[in-house]
Amino acid sequence: MNFDAPRTVALEIPSRLDCIEFIGESLRVLCPLAGFSEAESYRIELGVIEALNNVVEHAYEFQPDSTVRIQLAFSPDQLQIVIRDAGKPRPGNLSHNLMFDNDVMDSWPEGGMGLFIMHEVMDNVSYERVDGENFLTLIKTIPW
């Protein structure tokens, strides 16, 4: 199915880790319909899951009764995903690098890989804080 006109899907979940899977499974169904391969769809799912984990863990600090809104906008050439929450703002100095030495066990990362993964799997990642809300925009180009 080729999308000749933009189509938007809006989803909303409570800020709970056990509800994030619901968005992942939705992407796994929707992305192939928009022209992404199975491997690309998996990577999109991964990028979005990492973003949602960060919202629940860092922006909302595990408060379960808040809301995370996800808007998926499929257009002929790209998928734009906007993740919106009213949690704490993201610190300004976050790095999305991943550096470790294979031979030095202490340097192996046990966390903090989410941002790196998001930047790796998406074509563009941007963050804005507007009127007390966080807006994270992820863009993936649809290959032809």
Residues within the interface to another protein (CB under 8 A): 10-14, 16-22, 24, 38-39, 42-43, 45-46, 49-50, 53, 56-57, 67, 98, 100, 102, 105-106, 108-111, 113-114, 116-117, 120-121
Least Cα distance to 19 among 65, 71, 79 occurs for 65
Minimum CB distance to another protein, residue 128 (Å): 20
Q: Which is nearer to another protein, 10 or 124 (CB)?
A: 10
Provide the minimum distance between the beta carbon of 71 and another protein in the complex, in angstroms, as a whole number. Answer: 10
Q: Please identify, using beta-carbon distances, which residue of 64 and 76 lies nearer to another protein.
A: 64
- Whose tokens are 């507007």? That residue is 130
Helix (H, G, I), strand (E, B) or coil at 42: helix
Please give the full DSSP string across 99-122, using - where no structure is assigned: ---TT-GGGS-SS--HHHHHHHHS
Nearest-approach distance from CB 54 to another protein, in angstroms: 10
In the complex, least distance from residue 45 CB atom to another protein, rounded to whole angstroms: 7
Nearest to 75 by CA among 26, 126, 142: 142
What 3-state DSSP class applies to 123? coil
